[in-house]
Each structure stands twice: as C-alpha cells, then as structure tokens.
Amino acid sequence: IRTVKNSKHIMPWFHLPLQAGSTKVLMDMGRGYTKEEYIEIAGKIREIIPEATITTDIMVGFPTETEADFEETLDVVKKVKFDHAYMFIYSPRYPSKSAIVYKNNIPEEVKGRRLRCLIEEVNIYIKERRELMLGKEYEILIEGPSKKSPSYSKGKTQGNLTCIVPGIFEPGTFLRVKIKEIIGLTPLGEPLQVTSYPVSS
C-alpha cells in the first residue's frame, strides 16, 4: 500500500474481490481470507491513501448462503464503502468444486431480491464517495466522446473513475478538471487546463 502511495507510476486503484461477506461462505467457496481480514486490508488502504479507489466483485446466491450470510455481505459494504462493484448472481460452472459439491437450491426470486438489495446498498456508498470529490481538482485521461452526450468528453481519473467534461478533447489528452457536480454516480468536471497532449504516431 505504501509503495503505491509513494509511487508516481502506480495508480491508486485497488481491486479487491470480496465475493461474499460471510467467512463461512468464503470458506465454502475455497477463498483464502476471512471477512475480518478483508475489512482490515481495506481499512489500511483507506487510512494510508484516503483518495484511493477500491473496487470489488460481489456474488449473491451461492448455494450455502443464508439470509444471515447475505446480511454479512451488506455489513462489509457498509464498512468498506466501495467506489465501484461488479455484482452478479451465482450460477454453477462445471467442473468447478461448487457446482459439483453443492446443489444450486436457492430460489431464483431470492437471488434476484438479494442482488437488487445489494445494488441499492452499494450505490448509496458509491454516491457518498463521489460527493467527496466535489470541489476538488483531478487530472483525467481523455478516452473519447461521451456516449450519452456527444458534446461532452469522458475520461478516467488516476483511480480509474469515469468523469465527464463539456467539450470535445482528443483521446489521449491529459486534462486538469474541477468536479462541479455528480450526475447520477458520474462526476462532472469543469475543464481547467490541458496538461499533456496525445503523442503523435
């Protein structure tokens, strides 16, 4: 973590796959960590690099997941406050151990409800984290025009968060922006200064 903090060449983005917040379910999955260990690592990142991006993968509906186990997943979400999460429903994949050993016996409607609940909870904290960006300046790397608003450009912060800005900028441009608004979960930046132009081929 400190290596990332002290380096100009490593971006402060940590992808820490959670999968589940219950230690019991994690052991059933064959994961090599506990809920407590995961929270401790994420906490160290937040302490040492407060502006770092933490993203994750979360699965619901693993065959041994109970309602209590699912609540533990929500508890991790509340404590870590992820910046982004890839969330999905478990489906058996042969010949994986889980598909062979466990029966996929959780009703689809239960899986769907848990996923909807998880997405809602995660988005609360994503919004909270985005609002911390308001009024701050960031350097973003322009990727191209925004798909939703062609008169805007989209880019990535050093923490790999998408940001949109008014105007058309060439892909590969580094642009200094000030975050003025959060639209949905996406920061809207005010262009301040081009810090680097794309290198011509």
**Chain centroid to CA 41: how far?**
16
104/192 Cα distance (integer angstroms): 53
Q: How confident is the model at residue 102 (pLDDT cuts 50, 70, 90)?
A: confident
Give the pTM.
0.91
pLDDT at 91 over 90: no
Domains and CATH numbers, the chain: 2-131 (3.80.30.20), 137-196 (2.40.50.140)
Q: How confident is the model at residue 13 (pLDDT cuts 50, 70, 90)?
A: very high
pLDDT at 40 over 60: yes
Number of other residues whose CB lies within 10 A of the CB of residue 105: 7
Number of other residues whose CB lies within 10 A of the CB of residue 20: 26
> For residues 73 and 22, is the Cβ–Cβ distance under 8 A?
yes
Mean pLDDT confidence for 92-103: 72
Digit-coded pLDDT (tens) for 139-197: 999 999 999 888 999 999 999 999 999 999 999 999 999 999 999 999 999 999 999 98
Mean pLDDT confidence for 124-150: 96
86/75 Cα distance (integer angstroms): 17
Mean pLDDT confidence for 90-100: 74
Tell me what pLDDT residue 200 has: 67
pLDDT at 201 over 60: no
The winner for highest mean pLDDT among 87-96, 122-131, 142-151 is 122-131
Q: Which residues contact 77 (CB under 8 A, 6 or more apart)?
A: 21, 58, 85, 118, 121, 122, 125
The percent of residues above 70 in pLDDT, for the chain, comes to: 97
